Amino acid sequence: MARTGNGTAATAEKIIQGNCIEAMNALPANSVDLIFADPPYNLQLGGDLTRPDQSKVDAVTDEWDKFESFESYDRFTREWLAAARRVLKPTGAIWVIGSDHNIVRVGGSLQDLGYWIMNDVVWRKSNPMPNFRGTRFTNAHETLIWAVRDADQKKYTFNYDAMKALNETLENIAGKEIGDIALRNVAPVAASINPSLPIGNFDEAQSGAIAKVDEFDFQHEMRKTRERVDELLDLGKIAAAESFMEEQRQVFVANGFNIRKLNQAYFAFNGTYADNAASSSPIADQLNRYRAAASNVGSFVKMIAGFSSYQKFMDELDELDK
- What is the predicted pLDDT for the residue at 300? 86
Whole-angstrom Cα distance, residue 118 to residue 108? Answer: 14
Mean pLDDT, consecutive 10-residue stretches, the chain (322 aa), reads 45 81 95 94 65 61 75 94 97 94 93 96 85 81 96 90 78 79 60 45 42 66 84 87 90 85 75 53 79 87 83 85 74
198 DSSP 8-state letter = P
- What is the predicted pLDDT for the residue at 164? 76
Query: 83: Cβ–Cβ under 8 A, 6 or more apart, which residues?
Result: 20, 21, 24, 25
Residue 95, phi then psi, degrees to nearest 5: -115, 130
- What is the predicted pLDDT for the residue at 279? 56
Map 212-269 to HEC letters: HHHHCCHHHHHHHHHHHHHHHHHCCCHHHHHHHHHHHHHHHHHCCCCCCCCCHHHHHH
Residue 70 near residue 130 (C-beta atoms within 8 A)? no
114 DSSP 8-state letter = T
Which helix or strand (DSSP H or E) is residue 194 part of?
none
Question: For residue 131, which amino acid is it?
Answer: N
- What is the predicted pLDDT for the residue at 150? 96
Q: What is the pTM of this model?
A: 0.59
Whole-angstrom Cα distance, residue 130 to residue 138? Answer: 7
**Helix count and strand count (H, E) for the chain:** 12, 6
Whole-angstrom Cα distance, residue 56 to residue 309? Answer: 38
